[in-house]
Structure 1
């Protein structure tokens, strides 16, 4: 049986190669992390490492979501016209 870390690494590699989505990799990693904790115990190093990887993958998803958020029409306008009065920020 392959080690949990090897299975997760294979999933991450297939994401990097474009074979899987980030969401699929996260789901597989969660399953593997649960399995590692069930087999090795919740206090085991393998369990902790597997959940650390899941956390990093979820953080990556969060960062990507923030980067692709849809801007408001005001944000778009201010991007095109930063000198406009509506776009100026004042500290009071």
Structure 2
């Protein structure tokens, strides 16, 4: 699960439809102060690398595509490890 605060970017409120995880997966749960992306690790283009016999590295990107700003979406790399 990836969680994002809607007030996390330059003191600007971020709407749920401005965010996508990986290969275009939208927010799955909207809470008062948090947006959640709840997907299995084999969806949304999430990449899994075996780091060692005891550790995995999960990699993906979060895309922020503002409604009222000119220019393309911003890409934020995300990584998480598990052992």
| Alignment TM-score, normalising by the size of structure 1 | 0.20
Which of 1 and 2 has greater Rg? 1
**What is the TM-score normalised by the length of structure 2?**
0.21
Larger RCO: 1 or 2 (CA < 8 Å, sep 6+): 2
Q: Which structure has greater strand proportion?
A: 2
